[in-house]
Amino acid sequence: MIMADKERIVVKIGTSSLIQENGRVNLASIDRLAFTLACVNNQGYQPILVSSGAIGVGLASLGLTKRPAEIARQQALASIGQTELMRIYSQRFLDYQTKVGQILITRDVLTFPVSLQHVIDTFEVLLADKVIPIVNENDPVAVDELDHHTMFSDNDELSAQVAVKVGASKLIVLSDIDAFYDADPHQDPDAKVIRHVEQLTPEMEAAAGGSGSGLGTGGMVTKLRAAKTMLAAGKQMILCNGKDPAIIKDVLAGKEIGTRFGKGN
Length of the chain: 265
Name the nearest CA neighbour of 133 among 52, 53, 54, 49: 49
155 is in an annotated binding site: yes
Per-residue pLDDT tens for 185-223?
878 889 899 999 999 988 888 877 644 443 344 478 899
Distance separating alpha carbons of residues 260 and 158, to the nearest angstrom: 19
214 is in an annotated binding site: no
139 is in an annotated binding site: yes
- One DSSP character per residue, 116-154 reads HHHHHHHHHHHHHTTPEEEEEE-TTT--TTSSS----S-
Per-residue pLDDT tens for 65-123?
888 989 889 999 999 999 999 999 999 999 999 999 999 998 889 989 999 999 999 99
Under the banding of pLDDT at 50, 70 and 90, the label for residue 140 is confident
Give the Cβ contact number of residue 116 at 10 Å.
Answer: 15
Q: What type of residue is 144?
A: D
Tell me if residue 248 falls in helix, strand or coil. Answer: helix
217 is in an annotated binding site: yes
Helix, strand counts (H, E) of the chain: 10, 10
222 is in an annotated binding site: yes
Distance separating alpha carbons of residues 66 and 45, to the nearest angstrom: 38
Distance separating alpha carbons of residues 162 and 50, to the nearest angstrom: 9
Q: Is 199 left (phi over 0), alpha (psi -120 to 50) or beta?
A: beta
Which string of b and e fits 14-46 if b means at least 16 CB within 10 Å?
Answer: bbbbbbeeeeebbeebbbbbbbbbbbbbeeebb
Average pLDDT over residues 13-33: 95
Distance separating alpha carbons of residues 172 and 109, to the nearest angstrom: 23
Distance separating alpha carbons of residues 176 and 258, to the nearest angstrom: 11
175 is in an annotated binding site: yes
- Which of these ranges, 9-18, 157-166, 183-192, has the smallest mean pLDDT? 183-192
Under the banding of pLDDT at 50, 70 and 90, the label for residue 153 is low
CATH number given to 8-261: 3.40.1160.10
Give the Cβ contact number of residue 105 at 10 Å.
Answer: 22
Backbone φ and ψ of 64, nearest 5°: -105, 160
Q: Which residues contact 4 (CB under 8 A, 6 or more apart)?
A: 43, 44, 45, 252
Q: What is the dihedral of CA 230, 231, 236, 239, to 10 degrees?
A: 80
Q: Which runs of E-coded beta strand occur in 73-203?
A: 100-105, 132-137, 170-175, 180-181, 193-194, 196-197
Pairing of strands 180-181, 236-241: unpaired
Q: Which pLDDT does position 3 carry in this prediction?
A: 46
Structural domain boundaries in the chain: 8-261
50 is in an annotated binding site: no
Name the nearest CA neighbour of 242 among 49, 80, 90: 49
219 is in an annotated binding site: yes
pTM of the model: 0.91
Q: Which pLDDT does position 132 carry in this prediction?
A: 98
Whether the Cβ atoms of residue 110 and residue 119 lie closer than 8 Å to each other: yes
Is the confidence at residue 154, as pLDDT, over 50? Answer: yes
- DSSP annotation of 131 reads P
